[in-house]
């Protein structure tokens, strides 16, 4: 059975040790940041968003467990733009458990958790080239609200 369990400090420390690097890599891949500055910028963004780590108010960290095995993580927070909206900053499914419907099930659990926390909406960001995630989110009822676009210029 799939469940959400609040992260312990140990879980959070393990999550953070890879989350900043993963985020930096995604921003480089998307062309938003240069490789030279990506890790520094990602570290600064995490520090800005989570000045008190797991104890930062209005931030909720969960393990996604399949029975007693951790198969993923999720970071949910009160939106800075709309207090009625929960924002999913990060959702990750362990590679060996991907493509098994766990992400879709986890999003349903996150919806229920957001309602328990008093939220009326849930939002997230997805990188444009992440077709698999975009498909999952659209199947789960998310709609596009903003689109940023970029093109390379030739000299």
Domain chopping of the chain, boundaries:
2-139
Residue 155 pLDDT more than 80? no
What pTM value is reported for the model?
A: 0.90
Superfamily name with CATH number, domain 2-139 = Gcn5-related N-acetyltransferase (GNAT) (3.40.630.30)
> Cβ(128)–Cβ(30) under 8 Å?
yes
Burial of residue 112, with CB atoms counted within 10 A of its CB: 0-12 exposed, 13-18 middle, 19 or more buried: exposed
Q: What is the chain's mean pLDDT, rounded?
A: 94
Radius of gyration of the chain (CA): 16
98-132 pLDDT, tens digit each? 999 999 999 999 999 999 999 999 999 988 888 88
68-102 pLDDT, tens digit each? 899 999 999 999 999 999 999 999 999 999 999 99
* Confidence band, pLDDT 50/70/90 cuts, at residue 42: very high
> Cβ(85)–Cβ(119) under 8 Å?
yes
């Amino acid at each position: 059975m799939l469940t959400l369990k609040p992260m312990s400090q140990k879980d959070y420390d393990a999550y953070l040790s890879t989350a900043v690097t993963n985020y930096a890599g995604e921003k480089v891949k998307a062309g938003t940041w240069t490789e030279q500055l990506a890790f520094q910028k990602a570290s600064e963004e995490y520090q800005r968003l989570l000045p008190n780590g797991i104890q930062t108010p209005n931030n909720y960290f969960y393990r996604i467990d399949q029975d007693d095995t951790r198969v993923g993580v999720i970071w949910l927070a009160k939106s800075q733009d709309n207090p009625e909206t929960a924002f999913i900053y990060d959702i990750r499914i362990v590679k060996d458990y991907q493509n098994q419907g766990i992400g879709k099930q986890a999003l349903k659990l996150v919806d229920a958790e957001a309602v328990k926390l008093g939220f009326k909406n849930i939002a997230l960001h997805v990188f444009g080239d992440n077709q698999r995630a975009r498909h999952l989110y659209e199947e789960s009822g998310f709609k596009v609200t903003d689109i940023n676009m970029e093109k390379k210029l030739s000299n």
